[in-house]
A = this chain, B = another copy of it.
Amino acid sequence: MSSIPKSTHLGHHVVIEDGVSIGENVVIGHHTVILQGTQIGEHVTIGSNCVVGIQPAANEKMRKESPTERNLIIGAGTKIGHLVSIYAGSTIGRNVFIGDHASIRENVHIEEASVIGRAAIIELNTTIGKNCTIQTQAYVTGDTTLEDNVFIGPCVSMSNDKYMGAQAYTLKGPCIKQGAKIGNNASLLPGITIGSNTIVGAGAVVTKDVDTNIIVAGVPAKEIDA
């Protein structure tokens, strides 16, 4: 049995599995499911109809993930919306905001005060620095690195597999350096680096590494004047 502090504000029909730890003054919405081993810091808010602490699954075709031994850890003061899914084996920092319908996979690390937008998806093995903003419906692929203060516009798309499943290949998402900003609906190809403080225009398709402190736009993306 999990021990639930008296200060917890629990909605109706909440399911809390065994081995869950809950800090003081936590709010959990109606119908939310907290799966085994989840650790929730103090003053965390979780909305209704969420599922958190999910163990990875796969079919034969997908890369095998052994069940993660690590728990989901949610830092103090973090706010999670409604209808959100989060996997075991990830660490969410303090004062993070996670929008409704968002999904965060296993082995993801999100540092403090970052914002994960509504319906945004963060795939496995990804690191997101401090004070990042990932906007609505953005897709952060697996094996990706976002340094601090990165801005990812709405509907940005990334990929991490050059051969689209056709060859053995070490999957590698983009590396986006400190303070870079990616415009809405831009597409980033596998393994590219976006330099610090660089701006990528809306709808750009970035096919290779981009220098620091410049602006790129177009298909394929090229440097433009500010």
By a beta-carbon cutoff of 8 Å, the part of chain A in contact with chain B is: 11-13, 15, 29-31, 33, 45, 47-51, 54, 57-62, 79, 81-83, 85, 95-97, 100-101, 103, 113, 115, 118-119, 121, 123, 131, 133, 136-137, 139, 141, 151, 153-155, 157-159, 164-166, 181, 183-185, 187, 189, 199, 201-203, 205, 207, 218-219
Decide if A59 touches B97 in the complex (CB within 8 Å): yes
How many copies of this chain sit in the oligomeric assembly?
A: 3
Chain B CB within 10 Å, residue with most, of A79, A81, A159: A159
What DSSP secondary structure best describes chain A's contact surface?
loop
A82 engages B95 (CB within 8 Å): no
B62, B82, B85: the one within 8 Å of A100 (CB): B85
B83–A57 CB distance below 8 A = no
Distance, CA A141 to CA B100, complexed state (A): 15
> Given A31-B15, A121-B118: A113 and B187 within 8 A (CB)?
no
17 interchain pairs, CB-CB under 8 A: A13-B15, A15-B30, A33-B49, A47-B54, A48-B51, A61-B97, A61-B115, A101-B101, A118-B121, A154-B157, A155-B187, A165-B181, A185-B185, A185-B187, A187-B203, A201-B205, A202-B207
